[in-house]
Structure 1
Amino acid sequence: MIMKNKSTKYNGWSMAQLCAALLLACSLYSCKESDGFNDVVSQDMAKPGVLTGVKVENLAGAAVISYTLPNSENLLYVQAEYRINARTVRQSKSSYYSDTLRVEGFEKSGDYEVTLYAVSRANVKSDPVKVNVRPSTPSYLMVYPTIQLNADFGGVNVSASNPSKKAVGIIVISNDKTTGKMLPVEQFYTEAENINFSVRGFDTLKRDFGVYVTDRWGNISDTLYKSISPIFEILVPKNRFSEYRLPSDSPLGATGLGWNTTRLWDNNIADPGWHTDAGNGMPLQICTFDMGILTKLSRYKLWERGEAYGNDYSYNHGNPKAWTLWGSSSTAPTDAVLPVNSPKGTVVGDWINIGNFTCPPPPSGNAPGQTTPADLAAVKAGFEFNIALDVPKVRYIRLAVNSTWGNADFAHVMELSFWGNTN
């Protein structure tokens, strides 16, 4: 057994001397720090002076208040107390390093009273200073008048404008089958400037829908009601699908292992799928097929390649990152050189741009090759995309991939499913 000698020397110092020196150094360091900063806890019960020179800048649903701090050594922060609606009183705080404070969450435009305090490190408040703010219309009320509620496939489409790009919640309600009450069927939160989403899963019978807008502080707009008959929608039967190969389609790769275009509709999201040949060049990897029936498309789902044979291809390799769907209603559409980039609705020969799509990023936010179980689950579930209501009926589809997660010169997709009205 090895025993430590309590009198061991370190460069002539004993252990006890070293400890004492370290304690002294820490004490001196603490004193030095206290010279420049107030203590976190103070026994100084003196009341801080009041704020002076108060000015207000009114904003949408908010205001920024500037002021001159009192000359109080133990000052810690400035606090504002104010009512934002009939239900809620809020507090906002700003440290003594700042001379401004933001108050926000007001229910509507109008006059509101804000009470300001300087607060010491002993939690002693100064005398109050009252100031009136007059915020302009908050974002959620700016969104509400722009809401459009229209029939969509299997439900309703909601669109609105959010020019301030502030966070809002769009709540869709409808009749509950059991109680008959209007209850939430979708809660959509966004900061997007142009809001557009669909709520599906309903039959074609007319029913009441309602929409209202809320914000992070619990303010709620009025509710817009509308009776709507959802448009009929089914899964487009895959038993009519067939390859419709055109000269500009990309060469296929790994065909000897079963990779070909028909794998896109075999109801199997595992290997093999559609796979183009490596080295055939980008910028587009294209395949073309016939759905077998003229269809007013509503949405589709795409499954990328995930785990296979002990390897993980999720968000990597030849999985599409951005692509365009082209469609045609012609009896026998001819080949066309498709542009790499074009707006929805662009017509090239017999083909129309149905939409430009981007794969959602992995839930983890990690780079390719660092996937988490949540990322793998997202790939396995597939990615669903809406097709705009103004897109005409089509029968033939061209998938044109213009970038992949692995920056590869080939692309692969496991499965595609389409929904719409085939009548």
Structure 2
Amino acid sequence: MKSIKNYSLLLLLLAVVLSVISCKRNDGARVPISTDNSKPGVITNVKVNNYNGGSYITYQLPNSQNILYVLAKYQIRDNVPRETKSSYYSDTVTVEGFAKEQDYDVTLYTVSRADVLSDPVTVKVHPKTPAYISIRSTTTMTTDFGGVNVKAFNPLKKEIGVIVTAFNKATNTMEIQDQHYTTADTIDYSVRGYSTDPRSFGVYVTDKYGNISDTLKKSITPLFEQLLDKSKFSPYNLPSDTEIGYGWVLPNLWDGKTDGNSAGWHTNPGHTPPFVCTFNVGLTYKLSRFIIWERPDQYAFGHGNPKLFSLWGSNVASPQDAQLPVSSAVGTVVGDWTNLGNFRYPNPPSGLPPGATNAADNAFVLAGVNFNISISAPAVHFIRVAVGQTWSGGNFAHIMELSFYGTPQ
């Protein structure tokens, strides 16, 4: 019995000691992981491989077990220092973010486990043209409905920002109007909300390192656009339109109701793409854009909501029926109908997979998504929506609401 008590006391003392050790204050000071304070050797056999906006520097490490990493120090533009590191497992350090295509000095150190730096080794790098500059050289700005359209190419798919400015008469200055950040290889978007008065616009490109291109400046007169009057819309049923299901009739597409408690347009299950509906917009319009509201809540990014769809139009007095293809090039003509554009609904903004989306993704659906129609598209009096693929890949489709903008002809 005595031995059991002694054993219990020993366990209690051990627990107290462990508790004291675990509760020791951490003041945040970095403690070297080695007591070897000798200066490490330098890297040798240095080689440089330049790319757009950066360089790969390869080297041979000194024969030492005490090296933790290689440190590169450099400036990407005047008075803007930058550092990058590469572990001792690697023979390459990457230096990037340079503002121009020119020579730059990069100073390299080996760093020991005791945080001791070697003597410096300085090499010259000459990065190729940074992406933000090459993207700016492809940038164009043209008049569009209610504003300007910006196009550019980003073949390297770098993280860049396209910044649009406009002249403000009240402040007598050019002010930022829109900041469009993307890694897409093709940039094509519009900034709207302006009157038809001539105005000075500008656009420049920036990158994640704070580099800024020169500004493309242009005086542009935005084209007039208006929201199409939905009271003039009416169904224009054609034989190849997909059968309506659940009483969700076509006029629900323009009744102004977008929430999940309302009805939209819904096809009957059991059909194959494309799922098509046709309607008359009342007048002839040159369309500029449209907003689509898909079914929200538990149906967001799923069920019969369109993922891939196209818009077709006709300005014939009484356009005849035609079987629309599942996919076709913009401008394709089938009978009396012309493909006005092919569209893909965006992925959930959260990055979560469809079916596991969050409240912010649902708010995105409820707000509606805007799509541009090419300024080269013909004027139309009748519209057909053709859903080529839904998020579920099923045999039916549904949309809550559509709004169109354009100029009456």
Matched, 1:340 2:330: no
Q: Residue type of the partner of 1:262?
A: P
- Of 262, 285, 297, 2:287 maps to 297
Counterpart of 2:387 in 1: which secondary structure?
strand
Q: Residue type of the partner of 2:378?
A: P
Deviation at 1:388, TM superposition (A): 1.1
Deviation at 1:367, TM superposition (A): 3.5
Matched, 1:67 2:64: no
> CA separation of 1:334/1:15 partners in 2, compared to 1, >3 Å: closer, same or farther?
farther
Deviation at 1:17, TM superposition (A): 8.4
In the alignment, structure 1 segments of 5+ residues that lack a partner are: 24-38
Deviation at 1:7, TM superposition (A): 2.9
- Counterpart mapping for 1:268-347 below 5 A: 268-270=257-259, 271-279=262-270, 281-307=271-297, 312-347=298-333
Deviation at 1:363, TM superposition (A): 2.2
The residue that corresponds to 1:353 in the other structure is 339
In structure 2, how many angstroms separate the alpha carbons of the residues matched to 1:62 and 1:18? 60
- Of 4, 7, 23, 2:4 maps to 7
CA RMSD of aligned residues (A): 2.1
| Contact map agreement 2:44 2:59 (CA 8 A) in 1 | yes
The residue that corresponds to 2:24 in the other structure is none
Tell me the number of residue pairs that the alignment of Structure 1 and Structure 2 aligns: 391
- Of 76, 88, 96, 1:84 maps to 76
Matched, 1:94 2:80: no
> CA separation of 1:161/1:6 partners in 2, compared to 1, >3 Å: closer, same or farther?
farther
Deviation at 1:8, TM superposition (A): 8.1
In the alignment, structure 2 segments of 5+ residues that lack a partner are: 18-30
Deviation at 1:371, TM superposition (A): 2.9
TM-score normalized with structure 1 length:
0.88
- Counterpart mapping for 1:187-198 below 5 A: 187-198=179-190
Matched, 1:370 2:356: yes
Counterpart of 1:342 in 2: which secondary structure?
coil
Counterpart of 1:374 in 2: which secondary structure?
helix
In structure 1, how many angstroms separate the alpha carbons of the residues matched to 2:402 and 2:378? 20
Counterpart of 1:145 in 2: which secondary structure?
helix
In structure 2, how many angstroms separate the alpha carbons of the residues matched to 1:368 and 1:58? 40
Matched, 1:222 2:206: no
TM-score normalized with structure 2 length:
0.91
Deviations 1:102-157 (A, max 9, x none): 11111111111111100112211100001111111111111112111100011000
Deviation at 1:73, TM superposition (A): 2.2
Q: Residue type of the partner of 1:295?
A: Y
% identical equivalent positions: 52
Deviation at 1:368, TM superposition (A): 3.7
- Counterpart mapping for 1:243-254 below 5 A: 243-254=235-246
> CA separation of 1:214/1:368 partners in 2, compared to 1, >3 Å: closer, same or farther?
closer
| Contact map agreement 2:139 2:151 (CA 8 A) in 1 | yes
In structure 2, how many angstroms separate the alpha carbons of the residues matched to 1:370 and 1:67? 46
The residue that corresponds to 2:173 in the other structure is 181
In structure 2, how many angstroms separate the alpha carbons of the residues matched to 1:406 and 1:193? 27
Deviation at 1:18, TM superposition (A): 12
4+ aligned runs moved over 4 Å, structure 1: 13-20
Q: Residue type of the partner of 1:183?
A: E
In structure 1, how many angstroms separate the alpha carbons of the residues matched to 2:171 and 2:79? 28
